[in-house]
């Protein structure tokens, strides 16, 4: 079917046809386009807009195409897009009657519908993958509730925590990423079909029926909005960008933690590479590439927003140029998620090194100040000053936290306040011990094994609930 033969005398130039064709990146719409045509044709017949026998022929030919696959289509460059390619196929099978399929339908509402169908599918897969990853992290965390490690602020030793607590920080970020994807999905799940070119049709089409047949939650209530809206794409790519931000942060930590200097984890061979010249090398390439590929998502989001910016209502061909950026975002987000999950879930944790770091650098100093407040009713600011001076003194004298005695502490307290503290030696050692320190943090959200178990329980319930409704 040559669309142009009515209106034009000339064919489009070959270069213009190639320049404007979306066929290459429309391929992902192939199956959705068949579904869209099937639903629309079924509805046309039901509404007695087209003859049931014609509808039957169209439907049979579409189903045949679905079975044969995309290779059955003529995808020459002068076929403008997938919608024309599918229509041409039906015409080649049943002749002119194929033309009834396009009654009260435009490629404008069709492409918007196809995009939503495919995107929904991808977002569902991504949501499931996030849940699987979260579950995997919880499993790993359950093995490390007492694996004491150092936690950082400004990338400097801050306070002790456990490996499990740190892993649960990842899980909670991923939970929000999941919820954001799920929320974006709600606005993808709206049917534009029936908007036709932009103002619906004078045929009595049944939008509820196609909405039901295509499995959408609802249909878009304004036909002009229906064909021009692509915010659902921007929003989905944004939610995936944030998901990848979380993943890139995990990667960054794996890169750092697997260094000789940190030595906290070892990334599995399967996710590492070596050097062509330095035979001793083990490089965290998967983490690095995932960290870098996150930038692709940000770039695609910017491109999509910039294409959308200031477009007049309703359909503009500009919109077509969004599709390849959507596909690229989806495929990169899916790859990053899969690889980062598999990499993280196979790391080997060096518990001794974790503990050594937690013990080495006065990370428990906050709690030493805290017992002065608790036991001796000293204002926290004064206690903070005493402990700060103590750490400075210990560093000068090369004293380790375990060597801090009541006497040293009293000497410093006396210098600063004129009074001794007289703290119990055992108590001092207890608060300076990182595991005891962590166990004492019984506040919800904190690192004590009980609190971590509690948080993990809630996350498991969340995963279970989500699995059973989606």
313-321, 364-372, 410-418, 445-453 -> range binding ligand ARG (CB under 6 A): 313-321
| Residue number, 236 or 323, with CB nearest to ligand ARG | 323
Q: Which is nearer to ligand ARG, 61 or 323 (CB)?
A: 323
The stretch near ligand ARG (CB under 6 A) out of 203-211, 314-322, 377-385, 405-413 is 314-322
- Give the integer Cα–Cα distance in Å for 208 and 27: 27
Q: Which is nearer to ligand ARG, 9 or 317 (CB)?
A: 317
Closest distance to ligand ARG from the beta carbon of 77 (Å) = 14
Judged by CB under 6 A, does residue 423 bind ligand ARG? no
Nearer to ligand ARG, 30 or 362 (CB): 30
Does the annotation count 157 as an active-site position? no
Rounded Cα–Cα distance for residues 464 and 221 (Å): 34
Instruction: Give the nearer residue to ligand ARG in terms of CB position, either 113 or 323.
Output: 323
Cα–Cα distance measured from residue 236 to residue 177, given in angstroms and rounded to the nearest whole number: 11
Q: Count other C-beta atoms under 10 Å from residue 443's C-beta.
A: 9
- Which positions from 56 through 85 interact with ligand ARG, judged by CB under 6 A? 81
Choosing from 275, 331, 360, 392, the catalytic residue is 275
- Residue 7 sits in the site that holds ligand ARG (CB under 6 A): no
DSSP letter for each residue of 3-33: GGGTT-SSPPPHHHHHHH--HHHHGGGHHHH
Token pair of 375, please?
A: 């036991």
Q: Does 195 bind ligand ARG (CB under 6 A)?
A: no
Q: Half-sphere exposure of 18 toward its Cβ, with a 13 Å CA cutoff?
A: 3
> How far apart are the C-alpha atoms of 155 and 99, rounded to whole Å?
65
Q: What is the Cα Rg of the chain in Å?
A: 31
Q: Is 66 exposed, middle or buried (0-12, 13-18, 19+ CB in 10 A)?
A: middle
330/433 Cα distance (integer angstroms) = 47
N- to C-terminal Cα distance for the chain?
A: 41
For residue 32, state whether it binds ligand ARG (rule: CB under 6 A): no
Alpha helices in 47-162 (DSSP H): 52-68, 82-94, 107-142
362: left (phi over 0), alpha (psi -120 to 50) or beta: left
317 binds ligand ARG (CB under 6 A): yes
CA distances in angstroms from 148 to 139, 358, 430, listed in the order given: 17, 7, 15
241 is catalytic: no
Give the HSE-up count for residue 356: Cα atoms under 13 Å, Cβ half-sphere: 8
Of 87 and 370, which CB lies nearer to ligand ARG in the complex structure? 87
Answer yes or no whether residue 228 interacts with ligand ARG by CB under 6 A: no
How many of the chain's residues bind ligand ARG (CB under 6 A)? 10
Output the smallest distance, CB 317 to ligand ARG, in A. Answer: 6
User: Where is 178: in which H helix or E strand?
Assistant: helix 163-188
CB of 111 to ligand ARG, least distance (A): 4
How many other CB atoms are found less than 10 A from the CB of residue 433? 20
- With CB under 6 A as the contact rule, the residue among 264, 319, 357, 363 that binds ligand ARG is 319
Determine which one of 5, 13, 154, 202 is catalytic.
154
Binders of ligand ARG among residues 105 to 164 (CB under 6 A) are 107-108, 111
Can you tell me which of 147, 228, 320, 329 binds ligand ARG, judged by CB under 6 A?
A: 320
Q: Using CB under 6 A as the criterion, what x/- string covers residues 95-114 for binding ligand ARG?
A: ------------xx--x---
- Which residue numbers are catalytic? 154, 275
User: Which residues of this protein are in contact with ligand ARG, per CB under 6 A?
Assistant: 22, 81, 107-108, 111, 315, 317, 319-320, 323
């Amino acid at each position: 079917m040559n669309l142009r033969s009515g209106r034009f005398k000339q064919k489009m130039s070959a270069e213009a046809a190639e320049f404007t064709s979306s066929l290459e990146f429309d391929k992902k719409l192939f199956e959705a386009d068949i579904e869209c045509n099937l639903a629309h044709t079924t509805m046309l017949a039901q509404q007695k807009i087209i003859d049931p026998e014609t509808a039957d022929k169209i439907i049979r030919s579409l189903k045949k195409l679905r079975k044969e696959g995309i290779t059955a289509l003529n995808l020459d460059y002068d076929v403008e897009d997938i919608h024309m390619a599918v229509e041409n196929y039906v015409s080649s099978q049943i002749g002119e009657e194929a033309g009834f399929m396009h009654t009260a339908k435009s490629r404008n509402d069709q492409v918007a519908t196809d995009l939503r169908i495919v995107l929904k599918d991808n977002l569902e897969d991504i949501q499931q993958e996030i849940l699987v990853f979260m579950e995997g992290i919880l499993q790993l965390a359950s093995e490390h509730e007492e694996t004491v490690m150092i936690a950082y602020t400004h990338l400097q030793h801050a306070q002790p925590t456990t490996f499990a607590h740190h892993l649960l920080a990842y899980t909670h970020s991923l939970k929000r990423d999941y919820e954001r994807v799920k929320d974006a999905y709600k606005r993808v799940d709206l049917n534009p079909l029936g908007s036709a070119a932009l103002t619906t049709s004078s045929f009595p089409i049944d939008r509820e029926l196609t909405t039901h047949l295509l499995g959408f939650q609802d249909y878009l209530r304004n036909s002009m909005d229906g064909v021009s809206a692509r915010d659902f794409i921007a929003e989905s790519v944004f939610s995936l960008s944030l998901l990848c931000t979380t993943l890139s942060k995990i990667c960054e930590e794996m890169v750092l933690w697997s260094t000789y200097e940190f030595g906290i984890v070892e990334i599995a061979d399967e996710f590492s590479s070596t050097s062509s010249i330095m035979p001793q090398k083990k490089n965290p390439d998967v983490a690095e590439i995932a960290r870098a590929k996150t930038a692709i998502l940000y770039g695609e989001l910017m491109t999509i927003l910039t294409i959308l910016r200031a477009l007049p209502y309703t359909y503009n061909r500009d919109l077509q140029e969004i599709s390849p950026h959507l596909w690229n975002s989806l495929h990169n987000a899916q790859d990053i998620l899969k690889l980062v999950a598999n990499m993280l879930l196979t790391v080997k944790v060096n518990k001794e090194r974790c503990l050594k770091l937690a013990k080495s650098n006065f990370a428990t100093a906050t709690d030493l100040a805290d017992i002065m407040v608790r036991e001796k009713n000293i204002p926290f600011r004064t206690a903070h000053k005493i402990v700060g001076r103590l750490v400075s003194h210990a560093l000068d004298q090369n004293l380790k936290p375990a060597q801090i005695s009541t006497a040293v502490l009293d000497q410093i307290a006396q210098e600063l306040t004129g009074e001794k503290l007289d703290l119990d030696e055992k108590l001092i050692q207890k608060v300076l011990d990182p595991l005891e320190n962590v166990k004492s943090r019984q506040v919800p959200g904190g690192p004590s094994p009980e609190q971590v178990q509690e948080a993990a329980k809630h996350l498991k319930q969340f995963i279970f609930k989500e699995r059973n409704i989606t």
